[in-house]
Structure 1
Amino acid sequence: MNPRFVPDLAAENDFDVMPSIPEAAMVTATYAPDFERCRLLCETMDRYVTGAPRHYLLVEHGDVALFRQLETARRIVIDERDLLPSWLHAFRDPTSLFRRRIWLSTRTAPLRGWHVQQLRRIAIAAHVPEDVLVYCDSDVVFVRPFDCGVFSRDGKVRLFRHANVNDTSLDSDQMAWSRNAGRVLGIASPEVTAHEYITTLIAWRRRTVLGMCRRMEDVSGEHWVAALGKRRRFSECMTYGRYVDEVLGGAGHFHGTEEFCRVRWWGEPMTDDELRAFIAELTPEQVAIGMQSFIGTDILRVRRILASI
Structure 2
Amino acid sequence: MKTAVMTSSYAGDFDRCALLCESMDRFMRGNWRHHILVERNDVALFRKLEGPNRRVVSEAELFPAWLRSIPDPFSLGRRRVWLSPFSAPLRGWHAQQLRRLAMARYVEADTLLSIDSDVVLVRPFDPASLWDGHRLRMFRADNGAIHATPGHLEWLAHAGAILGLPQRPDPAHDYISNMVAWRVDTARALLDHIETRTGKSWIRAVISSRAISECMIYGRYVDEILDGAGHYPDDRSLSHVIWFKETYPQTPEGLDQFMAELRPDHIAVGVQSFVGHPLSDIRRAAFSVTPG
Name segments (4+ residues, structure 1) moved above 3 Å.
188-193, 304-309
> Structure 1: where are the runs of 5+ without partners?
1-21
1:149-160 mapped onto 2 (5 Å cutoff) = 149-160=128-139
State the Cα deviation string for residues 169-196 of structure 1 (Å, max 9, x = none): x992110000110000011475565111
> Quick check: 1:26–1:55 contact (8 Å CA) kept in 2?
yes
Q: Distance in 1 between matches of 2:212 and 2:287?
A: 38
TM-score (norm 2): 0.93
How far off its partner does 1:25 sit? 2.0
Aligned to 1:90: 69
Q: Does 1:125 align with 2:104?
A: yes
1:170-185 mapped onto 2 (5 Å cutoff) = 172-185=150-163
Aligned to 1:254: 232
Secondary structure at the counterpart of residue 208 of structure 1:
helix
Aligned to 1:287: 267
Aligned with 2:17 (options 26, 29, 38): 38
Name the amino acid aligned to 2:84: S
How far off its partner does 1:288 sit? 1.0
TM-score (norm 1): 0.88
> Quick check: 1:178–1:192 contact (8 Å CA) kept in 2?
no
How far off its partner does 1:85 sit? 1.1
Aligned to 1:276: 256
Q: Does 1:234 align with 2:181?
A: no
> Quick check: 1:182–1:192 contact (8 Å CA) kept in 2?
no
Secondary structure at the counterpart of residue 50 of structure 1:
coil
> Quick check: 1:216–1:224 contact (8 Å CA) kept in 2?
yes
1:1-309 mapped onto 2 (5 Å cutoff) = 22-167=1-146, 172-188=150-166, 190-191=168-169, 193-267=171-245, 270-306=250-286
Q: Distance in 1 between matches of 2:198 and 2:170?
A: 19
Q: Distance in 1 between matches of 2:84 and 2:170?
A: 28
Name the amino acid aligned to 2:126: D
CA gap 1:193/1:88 in 2 versus in 1, 3 angstroms: farther
How far off its partner does 1:152 sit? 1.2
Moved more, 248-257 or 66-75: 248-257
Name the amino acid aligned to 2:111: V
Q: Distance in 2 between matches of 1:171 and 1:134?
A: 24
> Quick check: 2:122–2:287 contact (8 Å CA) kept in 1?
no
> Quick check: 2:139–2:175 contact (8 Å CA) kept in 1?
yes
In angstroms, what is the RMSD of aligned CA positions? 1.8
